[in-house]
Amino acid sequence: MAVKNADGTMLAQVIAPQDLQLSPDQQALIAPEGLSQCVRALMQNWRQGTVACKGRSDVAFSNKKPWKQKGTGRARAGSPRSPLWRKGGVTFGPQPRVRTLTVPKTLRRGVCNTLLWNYLNNEKVMSLNWVAQEAAPKTAHAFNALKQAGLADKKVLLFVTNYDAATHASFNNISNVKMLLFDQANAYHLASGDYWVFLNKDMDAFKEMVSAWI
């Protein structure tokens, strides 16, 4: 794992612990089927499930028969609530429902562990020695740090703490940066970035996050 200064110079190289390595059997079990299973579960559980429309029992009409059955010359009609009528109910329309998919905790941890090892093995985890301007956070200041680190045109997943408002404000308007809280890491976002980046001052938070996967 590379530790870089704000001007792009290398400060240190951190070697990943052996605990992150998985056996071939474990890797075959987890990827790629395990990753796709976790992503499907996340995307399904993020859905609100509030879509709805009115059926014939919900629309605002009386139960009176529009006209008598015979003798008018018109087609017979029993209710203005019919889906054939204007403002009638919808046939087989969607209704609110909750669909929940669950994934075993062991599989989730294994997927995150595999992703971490792949990013470390490909040297795509970076610790940036950069501090936001607390008084007046500047997007240009943050973008310059990414540019010096060679990440200006890369999809960056930036791990941040919940209380670091200055860092949030600095990186919020950079289109290729996705900020993710340490305690909200998930397979969908972990697999979406080209690089994982966190600040040097958040090293302990990063260690705490990955320790839950090992």
Of 98, 131, 159, which residue is a domain's last? 98
Which conformational region is residue 2 in: left (phi greater than 0), alpha (psi within -120 to 50 degrees), or beta? Answer: beta
pTM: 0.78
For residue range 71-112, list pLDDT tens digits in order.
Answer: 999 999 999 999 999 999 999 999 999 889 999 998 999 899
Looking at the fold, whether 74 and 151 belong to one and the same domain comes out as no
Looking at the fold, whether 22 and 54 belong to one and the same domain comes out as no
- pLDDT at position 89: 96
Name residues of the chain where pLDDT drops below 50: none
The domain of 14 spans 2-47+102-211
- pLDDT at position 31: 63
Number of domains in the chain: 2
Looking at the fold, whether 61 and 159 belong to one and the same domain comes out as no
Looking at the fold, whether 28 and 121 belong to one and the same domain comes out as yes
- pLDDT at position 7: 64
CB atoms within 10 A of CB 184: 10
Nearest alpha-carbon partner for 171 in 149, 140, 196 = 140
Looking at the fold, whether 60 and 139 belong to one and the same domain comes out as no
Looking at the fold, whether 40 and 63 belong to one and the same domain comes out as no
For residue 177, what is the domain's CATH number?
A: 3.40.1370.10
